[in-house]
Structure 1
Amino acid sequence: MMTWLFLLMGLAVLVCGAELLVRGASRLALGWGVSPLVVGLTIVAFGTSTPELAVSLKAAWANHPDLVLGNCVGSNIFNILFILGICALISPLIVLQQLVRIDVPIMIGVHIVLLLFAYNSTIGPLEGFLFILCLIAYTAFVVYKSKQESETVVKEYNDTYSISLKNAKFKNTKSIVYVLLGLGLCVIGAGWMTDSAVAIARALGLSELVIGLTIIAASTSIPEVATSVVATIRGQRDIAIGNVVGSNIFNVLGIIGITSLVSPHEITVAPSVISFDIPVALACCVACLPIFFTEHKITRGEGVLFLGYYVAYISYLLLSAAKHDSLPLFNQTMFLFVIPLTFITLFILAYRAFKVKKHSQ
């Protein structure tokens, strides 16, 4: 009982720390003349991944590599299937063309690179350095592209960030205190969460990888849930999707990159992560393309599809960990019926959208 309490306390402290860190850094950036659009696309988008970064760094230094990969890969699966699913149920999500043409292909690309880097069962400082270089290049690209955004998108980011941040009139010293306090809380919260996760895994007889892919991944993604759901309710649905895509890219390039670069040990990659979990994350990214491409929106029906697949993914992890008798039947149902039917549906949707676009030209 106390272990679960410490897990929840660690999560609360971690989320509060991340919020303070993002607010402080955003106010500093706005005070230095950075536009609200750039702040929203970089500091806020990446800042929502602070809990994942803090937990992964703590896990790496404590030599729990399964928590590192489980946290990052599990968070990316959660972001696409659960967050986009929930947001689409609230209101169909409008997808910007830039996401379809640029950001989603980049998200797919970084997961392919992650799979290639993980293929030899370790991710070391060299791979981490390359990931960070890619992150710097991606951030520079985002800043460059922000100058070409439409007035509608710029206004949304101004309304969301300039009013709540720029007009708050916090002095730089107070913003710096926010940043330092946020960092401190993130360190404390990450420590509690990591230690609790290891204890829970041992008590339940589950692997640290399964705990990382489920409980830790969902918990550290709470800032992304809050940001995307609030943006959807406000009608700023492109921010909701952009937050998820940007966070997924940062989780791979930033979190795995930084963690593998500063970790005292190489990050060991479990065989199941290479053969199953990263491919699932990659498949989720690829599935976004035809769904995003059809009419440039995510419908409520597609949101239900995403949520259903997340439930199926979690069910598989738990059945597999427990070696349950129903696992073979579950696998047969998924691979012989559910997955093929989904791919056929996505193909038909993409083909229809292509035909409509071709006729309109």
Structure 2
Amino acid sequence: MAWLWVILGVALLYFGGELLVRHAVALARRIGMSPLVVGLTVVAFGTSAPELAATLAAALGGNPQVAYGNVVGSNIANLSLVLGLAALVHPLRTKARFIRREMPFLLIVSLVLYFVIADGWIGRVEGVLLFAGLLAYLTYLLREKEEVPDVEAEFAAEYARTGPAAWISLLGIAAGVALLTVGASALVEGAATLARAWGVSDRVVGLTVVALGTSLPELASALVAARKGESELVLGNLVGSNIFNVFAILGITAMVRPIQPDGPGIVVDLSVMLGLVLLAWPFLYTGLRLGRREGAVLLLVYLVYVRYLFAA
């Protein structure tokens, strides 16, 4: 029965996220946002919506370990599993200036998260500070619009369409949020039941089952974009989603209800997350080719990490 709740939750989160992203993009284009800004903000935040829904549901339901595990596990999955599989589908190379600007930002965000969580408490003050970081990040993105023409063209080809009327987009966004809400509750309930059945901690299930389920929108969009050879879309979405996960999801959740992750494994989780940022840094920051060999290494890191979680 627990697996049915997990599968139902993942399905609702996936379709809710897709619905939210599609109509949010259409609404953003209708009010005049450029395709590049839409891709770096609306899409990145929209694909992180399942993480937000599941993290809030876990925190409000008294499962702080699941809430913590979902955010950290999603960031780990994005830079290992998702990026690795995308590179296996099609080697990635970027000319985008925004990647070189965002990679140092992602490193700083990861370091901030390391020190915020390392003491075992994320209170409302930390939540406000993280959310303030999100506002600063959005301001920065909205002001820095100049980009390489090829990159502008890639985003325009994907996000230049205005779509349906505004009222239809608003209904689509509302429907997406409703599906995310129900799906998050089902996923967290099923995951907590699985944790008890498997004899593992809520933290482990949050880092694996819940994080993987909420990362499906990033995985689906990355594989589709990689198959088309759209490296900038893959990298922009993943880097942006990881930044949103920390600033928006942890920030909003901690403001609603403080999170208290505990256990000796937390330092390992945060170290793996930070190590993946440092591993991806030379490829994404310098524009070097992230080929199938590098993708296989990233995928191997994820598999070894998951094996460690269930063996510990």
Question: If the TM-score is normalised by the length of the shorter chain, which range does it land in?
Answer: over 0.9
Q: TM-score scaled by structure 1?
A: 0.83
Q: Tell me the equivalent position of 1:233.
A: 227
Q: How far off is 1:294 after superposition?
A: 6.2
**Which of residues 169, 185, 193 in structure 2 aligns to 1:199?**
193
Contact 2:45 2:241 in 1 (8 A): yes
Contact 1:228–1:240 (Cα < 8 Å) also in 2: yes
Contact 1:87 1:303 in 2 (8 A): yes
1:97, CA displacement in angstroms?
5.5
Conserved 8 A contact 2:95-2:151: no
Q: 1:293 to 1:162 in 2, by over 3 A?
A: closer
CA distance in 1, matches of 2:111, 2:202: 24
Cα distance in 1 for partners of 2:47, 2:221 equals 8
> CA RMSD for the aligned pairs?
1.4
Aligned match of 2:300? 308
Decide which moves more: 11-20 or 72-81.
11-20
1:285 Cα deviation after fit: 0.5
> In structure 1, what is the Cα distance between the partners aligned to 2:44 and 2:64?
25
Q: Distance in 1 between matches of 2:49 and 2:138?
A: 16
Corresponding residue for 2:81? Answer: 82
What is the Cα deviation at residue 237 of structure 1? 0.8
| C-alpha distance in structure 2 between counterparts of 1:254 and 1:234, whole Å | 30
The equivalent of 1:148 in structure 2 is 146
Tell me if the contact between 1:73 and 1:278 (Cα under 8 Å) persists in the aligned partners: yes
How many residue pairs match? The answer is 312
CA distance in 1, matches of 2:38, 2:284: 25
Alignment of 1:164-313 (within 5 A): 166=162, 168=163, 170-263=164-257, 266-292=258-284, 296-313=288-305
> 1: CA distance between counterparts of 2:285 and 2:125?
36
Show structure 1 runs of 5+ residues with no match. Answer: 321-361
What is the deviation of 1:295?
5.8
Higher relative contact order (CA 8 A, sep 6+): 2
Moved over 6 A (4+): none
Letter in 1 for 2:167: T
Taking only the aligned residue pairs, the percentage that are identical comes to: 40
Deviation by residue 1:133-177 (Cα, 9 ceiling, x = unmatched) = 1111111111222x21122111111110123xx1x3x11111111
Cα shift at 1:92: 1.1
Compare 94-103 and 230-239 and name the one that shifted more.
94-103
CA gap 1:10/1:100 in 2 versus in 1, 3 angstroms:
closer
TM-score of the pair, normalised by structure 2:
0.96
Alpha-carbon offset, residue 95 of structure 1: 2.5
Q: Hey, what does 1:132 align to over in structure 2?
A: 131
In the aligned structure 2, how far is the partner of 1:24 from the partner of 1:302? 35
**Cα–Cα, structure 1 residues 37 and 291, in superposed 2: closer, same or farther, change >3 Å?**
closer
The structural deviation recorded for 1:273 is 4.7
CA offsets, 1:94-127, max 9 Å, x none? 1336356321111111111111112321000111
User: Structure 1 residues 292 and 34 mapped into 2: Cα distance closer, same or farther (>3 Å)?
Assistant: closer
Q: Residues 100 and 162 from structure 1, CA distance in 2 versus in 1: closer, same or farther, beyond 3 angstroms?
A: closer
Question: 1:331 matched to which residue of 2?
Answer: none
Contact 1:198 1:208 (C-alpha < 8 Å) held by counterparts? yes
Q: CA deviation at 1:14?
A: 1.3
Query: Match for residue 39 of structure 1?
Result: 38
Give the Cα separation in 2 of the matches to 1:290 and 1:35: 29
